[in-house]
């Protein structure tokens, strides 16, 4: 990732994808296709909701598509609102099955207390007072994001890590040490693969696939979906360095780890704070990222009819308000409140994204959107917290709420005293207020 200067003012914003998108072969659906994608044959929204499903001015930029991004690889086919309604594997919400459950990170039995050290990074910047986000805060965010559905927690003592075998981690080993821990769910104990990493950012990891299988056992009868939050670093395959989370959409379960979202790891992981959302579409930043791409990967291709060129726009509307607030905020530095809020915001965005898959929503290719796929922890920081018009239509239909009610619930969460002047929730609140004002003026 290219180095950036702290003096960047983010004045010039690009509404289009980066110049790299053409080289990568990404072709965004056109304006007419995007408009059609919010409509369905047998679903008519009230007039006010229809206004919220419009693109608006500088409200929903195109996906960034920087080198190495998910959409620069092999993007999925677009999923329209009609496609979503017709989805064979989409789980319906019913009066008896409509609750979203959140499970906080499992308790650790004293017989396996050695894995407690796995929740603290090995880097010198990690301090004990930087605690992972509380499950209650994530629950409250999801209650607003999926407004209209009840969101509840499962008592923490229900889930606990226990010994599975006698093997203990070997701190002197230079190799990955595969072992197992047990996960107690009520009266059942499930085997969970784990591995120690003597030279890793974390001393150990637990297996994501095993946790997802265990989460299925946790589903209450009235659950529509269940999210398990864990403080541990995760892996799927032996060749994985780490993964942040995943959903088994058809099984209605998701697991999200807070470990890699810890801001103390940003320098080690190359996460760009200065150009996180909403400043991720900064023209200077986009150009620098594309220019930094290795020459061997570049192709000499001239865009046709301007397609593939970054389109700079005069900053206005919700994005202008969000960037303005973002510019006014102090650097995160080592401030505990700002670090904690940044950490929470990252986990909330990923939690809402993974639960979106439980609602049958595919990765978005229409806009920069909370449901857009990510290929790295760096790309993750650039993704917005909002839903684009296409995916908003799906969520409004699923939750039977209105766009205005949903936005006001999110605004109330963002404006809490502990969230208001922070680097994701402050700009998001400004974005929402402007969106509400613009639609209100049109009614």
Residue 57 is predicted with a pLDDT of 66
Cα separation, 260 vs 301, whole angstroms: 37
Higher-pLDDT residue of 304 and 93 is 93
- Is the per-residue pLDDT at 91 higher than 80? yes
Q: pLDDT tens for residues 253-272?
A: 999 999 999 999 999 999 99
How much is the average pLDDT of 420-434?
A: 95
The 3-state secondary structure of the chain, one letter per residue:
CCCCCCCCCCCCEECCCCCHHHHHCCCCCCHHHHHHCCCECCECCCHHHHHHCCCCCCCCCCCCCCCCCHHHCCCCCCCCHHHHHHCCCCCCCECCECEEEEECCCEECHHHHHHHHHHCCCCCCCCCCCCCCCHHHHHHHHHHHCCCCCEEEECHHHEEEEECCCCCCCCCCCCCEEEEEEEEECCEEEEEEEEECCCCCCCEEEEHHHHHHHHHHHCCCCEEEEEEEECCEEECCCCCCCECEEEEHHHCEEEEECHHHCHHHHHHHCCCCCCCCCHHHEHHHHHHHHHCCCHHHCCCCCCCCCCCCCCEECCCHHHHHHHHHHHHCCCCCCCHHHHHHHHHHHHHHHHHHHHHHHCCCCCCCCCCCCCCCCCCHHHHHHCCCCCCHHHHHHHHHHHCCCHHHHHHHHHHHHCCCCCCCCCCHHHHHHHHHHHHHHHHHHC
pLDDT tens readout for residues 103-123: 999 999 999 988 989 999 998
Specify the pLDDT at position 58.
75
Q: How confident is the model at residue 293 (pLDDT cuts 50, 70, 90)?
A: confident
| Residue 303 pLDDT grade (very low, low, confident, very high; cuts 50, 70, 90) | very low
The residue among 185, 196, 269 whose CA lies nearest residue 220 is 185
- 8-22, 292-306, 356-370: the lowest-pLDDT one: 292-306
- Average of pLDDT values for 9-35? 92
Task: Judge whether residue 4 has pLDDT over 50.
Answer: no
pLDDT recorded at residue 175:
44
Residue 243 has pLDDT above 60, yes or no: yes
Average pLDDT over residues 213-227: 95
pLDDT (average), residues 81-91: 93
pLDDT greater than 50 at residue 209: yes
Structure-token match 């269940």, residue found: 226
Q: What is the pLDDT of residue 297?
A: 52
User: Is 377's pLDDT higher than 90?
Assistant: yes
238 or 93, which is more confident? 93
With a cut of 70, say whether residue 173 has pLDDT above it: no
Average pLDDT, the chain: 88
pLDDT of residue 37: 98
Q: What local confidence, expressed as pLDDT, does residue 126 receive? A: 61
438 token code pair: 């613009």
Residue 3, pLDDT above cutoff 50: no
Q: What proportion of the chain, given as a percentage, has pLDDT over 90?
A: 72
- Confidence grade of residue 333 (pLDDT, cut at 50, 70, 90): confident
* Contact (Cβ atoms closer than 8 angstroms) between residue 226 and residue 219: yes
In the chain, the largest separation of any two C-alpha atoms, in whole Å, equals 67
* The domain defined by 99-263 carries CATH number 3.40.390: yes
Question: What's residue 335's pLDDT?
Answer: 72
When pLDDT is cut at 50, 70 and 90, the band that residue 12 belongs to is confident
**pLDDT for the residue numbered 189:** 92
Domain ranges of the chain: 30-89+274-293+303-330+360-442, 99-263
């Amino acid at each position: 990732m290219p180095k950036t200067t702290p003096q960047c003012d983010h004045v010039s914003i690009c509404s289009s994808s980066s110049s790299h998108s053409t080289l990568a072969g990404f072709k965004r659906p056109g304006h007419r296709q995007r408009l059609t994608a919010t409509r369905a044959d047998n679903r008519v929204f009230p007039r006010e909701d229809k206004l919220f499903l419009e693109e608006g001015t500088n409200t929903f930029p195109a996906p960034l598509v920087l080198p190495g991004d998910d959409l620069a690889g092999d993007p999925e086919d677009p999923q329209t609102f009609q496609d979503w309604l017709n989805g064979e594997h989409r789980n319906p919400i019913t009066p008896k099955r409509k609750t979203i459950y959140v499970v906080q990170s499992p308790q650790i039995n004293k017989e396996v207390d050695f894995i407690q050290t796995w929740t603290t990074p090995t880097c010198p910047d990690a301090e004990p007072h930087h605690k992972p986000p509380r499950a209650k805060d994530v629950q409250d965010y999801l209650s607003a994001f999926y407004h209209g559905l009840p969101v509840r927690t499962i008592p923490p003592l229900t889930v606990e890590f226990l010994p599975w075998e006698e093997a203990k981690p070997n701190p002197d080993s230079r190799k990955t040490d595969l072992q197992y821990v047990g996960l107690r769910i009520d009266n059942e104990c499930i085997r969970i693969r784990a591995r120690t990493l003597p030279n890793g950012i974390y001393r150990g990891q637990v297996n994501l696939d095993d946790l997802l299988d265990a989460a299925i056992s946790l589903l209450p009868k009235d659950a529509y979906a269940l999210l398990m939050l864990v403080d541990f670093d995760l892996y799927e395959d032996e060749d994985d360095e780490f993964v942040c989370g995943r959903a088994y959409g058809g099984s209605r379960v998701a697991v999200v780890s807070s470990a890699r979202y810890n801001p103390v790891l940003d320098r080690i992981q190359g996460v760009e704070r200065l150009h996180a959302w909403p400043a991720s579409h900064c023209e200077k930043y986009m150009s620098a990222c594309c220019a930094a791409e290795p020459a061997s990967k570049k192709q000499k291709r001239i865009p046709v009819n301007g397609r593939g060129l970054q389109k700079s726009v005069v900053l206005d509307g919700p994005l202008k308000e969000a960037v303005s607030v973002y510019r006014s905020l102090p650097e995160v530095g080592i401030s505990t409140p700002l670090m904690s809020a940044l950490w929470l915001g990252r986990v909330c965005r990923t939690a809402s994204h993974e639960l979106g898959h439980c609602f049958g929503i595919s990765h978005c290719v229409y806009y920069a959107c909370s449901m857009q796929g990510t290929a790295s922890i760096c790309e993750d920081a650039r993704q917005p917290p909002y839903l684009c018009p296409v995916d908003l239509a799906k969520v409004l239909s699923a939750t039977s709420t209105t766009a205005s009610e949903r936005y006001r619930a999110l605004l109330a969460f963002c404006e809490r005293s502990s969230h208001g002047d922070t680097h994701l929730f402050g700009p998001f609140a400004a974005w929402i207020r402007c969106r509400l004002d613009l639609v209100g003026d049109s009614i």
